[in-house]
Structure 1
């Protein structure tokens, strides 16, 4: 499934003030990484994937339009999907982008992979 390009552009606007953001294709979407860690991603059908504090996962999935992210049938703690209708205004989108950026800022930077040559 292709990612939502309109959502990707909205995320670019919301994350534009963050230093060192990289974009990378991942999970069938377009991930926005900070310090080598995915903070948020534009997924298909307008869904946003957000990386959040694992301790907040259970409380956040009670919000309308928020679901746990599953990979191979397993829910991943600290990874959420936010539906398009829960991202109607820029303040809602910015909240999720800010959550993702804040959480990955607590993680140690990932080392850069050596280029094969």
Structure 2
């Protein structure tokens, strides 16, 4: 069992918010999920511009990875909103966290994986 197996989703999201804030960025919880084991989606932005959507998933080594998911940048904001609404309907325990900081994906990987 890996050492982060004991960390709850709420703890991971809290740590991510603190790291991003300490680096001068913004981290906003768009949808609060299950405190213990909710799936975490990360919506990345840089200077307010959407740059990607990622999901924390289990990997084959017993740890976690960040996987790109959802609509492409070209599909636009409406497609993203529809995707997030669909995911929340099918999984009300889902977290959606928005990060607005340069290299947002790096912060998410370093904190959640």
TM-score by length of 1: 0.29
More helix per residue: 2
Q: Give the number of the structure with larger relative contact order, counting CA–CA contacts within 8 Å between residues 6 or more apart.
A: 2
